[in-house]
Structure 1
Amino acid sequence: MSISDSLGKVGMTADGVTASVYLARRNLARNGLRSTLAILGIIIGVFAIATLGILGSVIQLTAADALGGLGDQIIVSPNADAGIERLTDRDVTTITRAAGNDATVIPVVTGGALVERGESRTFAALYAVERPGDLFVAGAGELPERHRRGAIVGSSVAAELDVDVGRTITIEGREYRVIAILAESDGFNLLQPDGAVLIPRTAFADESYTQVIVRAESGSEAGAAADAIRESVNAREERVSVLELSRIVERIDQFFGLLNAFLIAIGAVSLIVAGVSILNVMLMSVSERRGEIGVLRAVGIQREDVLRTILVEAGLLGFVGGVIGAVISGLVALGLYLAVPEVTLPVVVNLRTAGYLLFAVLFGVVISLASGLYPAWRAANERPVEALRLK
């Protein structure tokens, strides 16, 4: 297409941006292979940023799901450094009073023993929890409101011993009728129920408690309860150590946030490399069209029009490559959901994922525009006489 035809086309379109878009599309199409390679670089960069960002987000949210509601729980344990090995009923009463009426206080006795049924046997953790429903869910049978008799068996122990509700198991020479089997744990739990057996507190030789779990309504209330427990129980001596799980959850979340930023930074490097490719494309394009640009300037096209046209070319490269890269990244994220059972749909499809895709596209356009600034400035400031002399 000749320069006069181009000017005629421009004259038939609206002024300003529309004319610049038309010329930019024509110029990019005229150098199809070069433009395609530049777009490919943007696609790779945007895909890297979006995919690494989404991957980091998926890991972070999956970890948060696995930790569940641990942020609103605290663990009160005997202070071994002060020679305290177990917690008494009086300690539990003090902890309950300090935690407040809205908190759930769950004293636990722990141990371990060989569990047998016929010729089958396995080692299991032993727990005594007065109200099992505060911590566990039954997969078969029903959990008693207060555990006074019988055994509640974890899913892994039940599978190894091939035991069902109503059957009996033997623990340290005592027989227990299985009254319930716990549901398989699908997340992180302070007490690992799958490989455990719950028996009444009276079955333990030492009935004093090894730890107390306190569940509050929120993380802030858990923090307040932890402070109150320290002040009450440790008023005279450091009898207990209090672990606030919300702080651990916060540290884990901070770690994954840092990891996510690192991954995005790695993707940004590839996009900056793509920007250098666009700079090269724009420079070569401007150099090849010096004569044409000189003619346009000679017939009255202003510097702003030339500047806008070159920037629109760079912006189009970034936008097209960004959109394609984001679409591919979105498909990869959905593939991750389909391929990995642990990854749930809400972890993949959410506002954060959409934010990473949008950020990657915008970053790709910004890098493209930045790469086109110098070639655009060079073209806009080309003297018409010099350009026509080299035509």
Structure 2
Amino acid sequence: MSIPLSYIARNLWARRLTTALTAGGLALVVFVFAAVLMLDEGLRNTLVTTGEYDNVVLIRRSAETEVQSGVDRTQANIVASHAAIGLGADGQPMLSKETLVLISLNKRGSDKPSNIIIRGVGARALTLRPQVKLTAGRMFRPGASEIVAGASIARRFSGAGIGETLRFGQREWTVVGLFDAGNSGFDSEIWGDADQLMQAFRRNAYSSVVLRLSDSGRFDGFKKDIEGDQRLTLEAKREQTFYSDQSLALSTFISILGLTLSVIFSIGAMIGATITMYASVANRVGEIGTLRALGFQRRNILAAFLTEAMLLAVVGGVVGLAFASLMQFLSFSTTNFQSFSELAFGFKLNAAIIVKTLLFSLVMGMVGGFLPALRAARMQIVDALRAA
């Protein structure tokens, strides 16, 4: 015979103030835990959606990022002639030779500078990145000192708005358009003509070559050809994999920091839950004795108090998760450890995070409530009724 759930819930309601305070402490811990998971998921989602699975990125062998890479013009031309590369409607290879440069810009209303990526791209860049859409103005003209900026860059940095000018590479560059990259990493970049940027910065090599194969299934053979060609010192990766790898260092840092904070805070929350449940047991000695006298077994008492603690944890978990879900409307920017440039991304909530968060709150409730529940279950009937 088990103790009804409605009876357990009424006990929590009868101690509304204590229940609210304990649930509030649990909610704060759950909020931190969920926020960290959402931040990590937002980072991963931003960098993974930056790349297209069907695209291939070529960078210098042993280089981990485009910033570290160099692909000279001769090698880029050799790659462009490979038979596996898809052709556009005009019969030209679906390929973009790109160069990456870091510049420092001040944020609007502040003298605080941050590194921003200037990406020189070829004429096929927009075709290769369908998630990038012009939202205002027009695309830059090849051969001109014109640039287009990611929408988030235009909002946050001085001189990056449409019609404004930026000075770098000993030139004045006019922002002629804004683009939206679907919350991918490209939102944190400024694009211009690759050849013009290479001249401005006196570079004679590209940073990478981005291309699309005529058949995605030919990737392994293409990779083998490129990396086995003695004329080339290049490495081939699927674009999605390439950008996903960029998230590892920052994602690991966020995960370790978040786990550390969650463990520290959860210890405090579990201690609070334990104290609350011990107080509940102490105030309900007579009730426990009555339940035992009515025929309820020790295991029923143990289960009832554990259920009470877990209900308390569920309330705290739902409240904490509800507040954490509001953070989806916020954006966050930090330094990408790989490129040393600013990267903007947001918090992202999904079903896996909801499940992990609620399980985490249940574990806190179970751990915090186990010892008090065990104490209640071990009470002798005579001692409990006498103490009442």
For Structure 1 versus Structure 2, the TM-score category normalised by the shorter chain is 0.5 to 0.7
Residue 72 (str. 1) matches residue 55 (str. 2): yes
Q: 1:312 is matched with which residue: 301, 307, 320?
A: 307
- 8 Å contact kept, 1:307–1:379: yes
**Superposed CA offset, 1:171-211 (max 9, x none):** 9xxxxxxxx9974465667xx86454757xxx9xxxx9867
Q: 2 CA distance for matches of 1:30 and 1:133?
A: 63
| Aligned 1:233-312 pairs, distance under 5 A | 234=230, 238-242=231-235, 244=237, 248-265=242-259, 266-312=261-307
Partner residue of 1:47?
31
Partner residue of 2:318?
323
SS of match in other structure, 2:209 = strand
- C-alpha change, 1:97 and 1:32, in structure 2 (3 Å) is closer
SS of match in other structure, 1:154 = strand
Residue 365 (str. 1) matches residue 362 (str. 2): yes
- 8 Å contact kept, 2:29–2:269: yes
* AA in 1 matched with 2:45: L
TM-score, normalised to structure 1, is: 0.63
Deviation at 1:159, TM superposition (A): 4.7
- 8 Å contact kept, 2:98–2:210: no
CA RMSD of aligned residues (A): 4.8
Residue 61 (str. 1) matches residue 45 (str. 2): yes
- C-alpha change, 1:289 and 1:182, in structure 2 (3 Å) is same
Deviation at 1:214, TM superposition (A): 4.0
- 8 Å contact kept, 1:278–1:371: yes
- 8 Å contact kept, 2:119–2:192: no
* AA in 1 matched with 2:2: G
Partner residue of 1:3?
none
Mean Cα displacement is larger for which, 364-373 or 38-47?
364-373
Select the structure that is richer in strand. 2
Partner residue of 2:371?
374
- C-alpha change, 1:135 and 1:384, in structure 2 (3 Å) is closer
- C-alpha change, 1:228 and 1:358, in structure 2 (3 Å) is same
Tell me how many residue pairs correspond in the alignment: 320
Q: 1:92 is matched with which residue: 70, 77, 88?
A: 77
**Superposed CA offset, 1:62-88 (max 9, x none):** 3444x4449833236699xxxx99544
- 8 Å contact kept, 2:285–2:387: yes
Runs of 4 or more, structure 1, over 6 Å off, are 108-111, 125-128, 130-133, 135-144
Partner residue of 2:2?
16
Residue 215 (str. 1) matches residue 215 (str. 2): no
Deviation at 1:306, TM superposition (A): 1.5
- C-alpha change, 1:323 and 1:109, in structure 2 (3 Å) is closer
SS of match in other structure, 2:81 = helix
- C-alpha change, 1:269 and 1:355, in structure 2 (3 Å) is farther
TM-score, normalised to structure 2, is: 0.63
- 8 Å contact kept, 1:77–1:210: no
- 8 Å contact kept, 1:310–1:376: yes
SS of match in other structure, 2:234 = strand
Q: 2:383 is matched with which residue: 379, 383, 386?
A: 386
- C-alpha change, 1:98 and 1:76, in structure 2 (3 Å) is farther
- 8 Å contact kept, 2:139–2:176: no
Deviation at 1:32, TM superposition (A): 3.4
| Aligned 1:132-281 pairs, distance under 5 A | 151=144, 153-155=146-148, 159-160=164-165, 183-184=177-178, 194=191, 196=193, 213-217=209-213, 222=219, 224-232=221-229, 234=230, 238-242=231-235, 244=237, 248-265=242-259, 266-281=261-276
Deviation at 1:384, TM superposition (A): 0.9
Deviation at 1:310, TM superposition (A): 1.1
Q: 2 CA distance for matches of 1:281 and 1:318?
A: 12
Paired-residue identity, %: 22
Select the structure that is richer in helix. 1
- C-alpha change, 1:303 and 1:31, in structure 2 (3 Å) is same
* AA in 2 matched with 1:213: V
**Superposed CA offset, 1:264-285 (max 9, x none):** 4122431232112111111222
Partner residue of 2:94?
104
**Superposed CA offset, 1:208-251 (max 9, x none):** 9867724135987556423212323x1xxx54333646664232
* AA in 2 matched with 1:215: L
Runs (5+) with no aligned partner, structure 2 = 63-69, 88-92, 102-117, 149-159, 335-342
| Aligned 1:330-341 pairs, distance under 5 A | 330-334=325-329, 336=330
Deviation at 1:151, TM superposition (A): 4.7
